[in-house]
Amino acid sequence: MKVAVLGTGYVGLSTGVCLAEIGHEVVCIDVDKRKIDTLKQGKSPIYEPGLEELLVHNSSEGRLAFTTSHQQGLSEAEIIIIAVGTPQSDDGQADLSFLEQAAKDLAGHIVRDCIVVIKSTVPVGTNEYVKQLLLGQLKNNCEIKLVSNPEFLRQGSAIQDTLKADRIIIGSDDEGASEKIQEMYRPLDVPLLLTDVRSAEMIKYASNAFLATKISFINGIANLCEAVGADVEDVAKGMGCDKRIGAAFLKAGIGYGGSCFPKDVKALLHTSRKQGIPFSLLEETIAINDHQQELLVGKALKRFGELKGKKIAMLGLSFKPETDDMREAPSIKIAQSLTAAGARVAAYDPVAASNAREIIGDVITYADSAMEAAKDADALFIVTEWEEFKQLNVAALLDVMKQRIIFDGRNCLDEVLLQASGRIEYYPVGRPAV
Ligand code: UGA
C-alpha cells in the first residue's frame, strides 16, 4: 500500500519505518527541513534503539522516502497517517494547533480518495472535528474517510512495541476504511480491536492514565513501606503475581515523566471537568507524582540538614533509560530544587546531556562519566536507571566521593555489589535504608 506519514517525531518515524519494513511504500513528511535532510542521509534525529537500522535498510530498498513537500508526499497516498504532537496547553488540555495545521496542509494537497488515520493522542471528538476541518478546506473533490488509530509504543522500545504490539486499535464508523487499515496492519500478526471512533480515542487516554495511576499507587505504597519498615520491591512482586493486577508498571521510584503520561493524565482530567464528571483519582495520581519528584531532595535535606555548599552527583537526566528525551523528566525539578537550595550539581547521562542543557541550562555542570560526576561529591543521586549505572563499580565510585552516600531514586543498584563496596549509606525508595 502507498502510505504517507505526517510528522517525524518518534511516533511518526517508528510507524513509518515499521510499515516500510512490512512491505508498504512509505513517504514521511515533515515541515522541519533539517530533520528531513538528516533522515535522507540515513540518520535518525532521535535516539531510539533499532530505528536507524530499519531506516537505512528500507530507504535503500526504495520503500521509504522523506520529504518536506506535501504535494510530493501526498500525490499517491491511499492512506495518510497523522502523527503530529498534541502538547499540553497552559490549562491542561491538549493543544491541537499542530493537528489543525496538518489538516490544513492536507486539505490543500490531497488529490485522490484516501483514508486519513489519526495516530496523534487526541481528546474524544477530535477525529470528527478534523474531518469537518478537512472537508471545509478541501481543494480537490475527493472522498476522505477518517480512522482513529492510537498508538501504544514506548520511547526506548518503540520499534519492538510497533512490530510486536499487544493490540492495534482501529476506530472507525466506516466498514470499508476499517477493513483497509486492518489489511495494512495484517502482516504484523498483532491482535486487532475494532471500535467506534470515540471509544478508540478514549482507549488511549484511559490506558495512559491507568498506567500512570498504577505508578502513583505503587509510589504511595512505597512511601508507606518506608514509614512502616516494609520493602516495596517485595510488596510489588507479591502483588504482581496476581494475574488480575500484573507485575508491569509497579516499579516504585521518583515518579513518571516523559512526553505522554504527564500531559495525558492532565488532558483526561480536563475532559472530566469539562463534562462535569468528577474524577479526583486523576488529581491524586498527579499529586503523588509531583511529591515523588521531590523525594530525593527531601531525603537529602533530612540527611544533611541543609544542602548549601554540598556537591551532588546526579546520575541520569532523561525521563527513562534508552532515550535522550528530557520532556517532563524528574531530573529537571531535582536539579532546580538542588541548585535553589545552594547545592552544586554535576550530572552525567549516557545520551541526554545536550538536550538537558537546553532545558536546565548551565546552573549545573555536565560530566562525561559517572566517575567524573562523583568526584568529591557529598552524595550520589540515581535519577534514571540506565543499564550502565546498574553495572557501575560502586566501590571505585564511592572511593572518589567526599562522603559515601547514595540516594537511589530507581532502586536499581545491585545489592550484592553494594554490600561488597564497604562502608556506605544507601537510601532507596520504599525499602529500608542501609
Ligand atoms: C508511555 C506508554 O507506556 C506507551 O504505551 C504510550 O504509547 C506512550 O506513553 C505514549 O502515549 O506515546 P513512554 O512515555 O515512552 O510510554 O514511557 P514508559 O515506559 O511508559 O514510562 C513512562 C514513565 O513512567 C517513565 O518516567 C518511567 O520511569 C515511569 N515508570 C514506568 C515508573 O516510574 N514505574 C514503572 O513501573 C514504569
Nearest CA to ligand 1 atom 13: 154
User: What's the gap in Å between 104 CA and the centre of ligand 1?
Assistant: 31
**Cell numbers describing residue 248:** 508491569
pLDDT at position 419: 82
Residue 81, beta-bridge partner list: 5, 117
326 and 371 inside one domain: yes
User: What's the gap in Å between 292 CA and the centre of ligand 1?
Assistant: 16
Domain boundaries, position 361: 294-427
Q: What is the CATH number of the domain that holds 266?
A: 1.10.1040.10
80 and 48 inside one domain: yes
Catalytic annotation, pick one of 18, 114, 225, 260: 260
- Cα 215 from chain centroid (whole Å): 14
User: What's the gap in Å between 314 CA and the centre of ligand 1?
Assistant: 21
Nearest CA to ligand 1 atom 18: 154
Is 252 part of any domain?
Answer: yes
259 and 377 inside one domain: no
Q: Which residues contribute to the annotated binding site for NAD(+)?
A: 30, 35, 86, 121, 263, 327
Mean pLDDT of 4-33: 97
Q: Does the pLDDT of residue 187 top 90, yes or no?
A: yes
User: What's the gap in Å between 404 CA and the centre of ligand 1?
Assistant: 32
DSSP 85-109: ---B-TTSSB--HHHHHHHHHHHHH
Q: pLDDT band at residue 286, thresholds of 50, 70 and 90?
A: very high
Q: pLDDT band at residue 191, thresholds of 50, 70 and 90?
A: very high
211 and 191 inside one domain: no
For ligand 1, mutation pick of 51, 84, 120, 155 (most atoms within 8 Å of CB): 155
Nearest CA to ligand 1 atom 24: 256
Q: pLDDT band at residue 47, thresholds of 50, 70 and 90?
A: confident
Q: What is the CATH number of the domain that holds 336?
A: 3.40.50.720
Q: Final residue of a domain: which of 195, 212, 242?
A: 195
Is there a catalytic annotation at residue 260?
yes
The three-state secondary structure class of 120 is: coil
For residues 407 and 111, give the distance between their C-alpha atoms in angstroms, rounded to a whole number.
Answer: 58
pLDDT at position 272: 97
Nearest CA to ligand 1 atom 23: 256
E strands, 298-429, in order: 311-315, 344-348, 365-366, 379-382, 405-408, 425-427
303 and 172 inside one domain: no
User: What's the gap in Å between 11 CA and the centre of ligand 1?
Assistant: 14
Q: Final residue of a domain: which of 242, 269, 291?
A: 291
Q: pLDDT band at residue 199, thresholds of 50, 70 and 90?
A: very high
Ligand 1 first shell, C-beta below 6 A:
121, 151-155, 208, 211, 215, 249-251, 253, 256-258, 260-261, 319-320
Q: Final residue of a domain: which of 178, 195, 212?
A: 195
142 and 254 inside one domain: no
122 and 210 inside one domain: no
Mean pLDDT of 317-323: 95
159 and 177 inside one domain: yes
**84 CB contacts (<8 Å, ≥6 apart)?**
6, 7, 9, 12, 98, 99, 101, 102, 120
What confidence tens digit (pLDDT) does each residue in 370-401 have? 999 999 999 999 999 999 999 999 999 999 99
339 and 371 inside one domain: yes
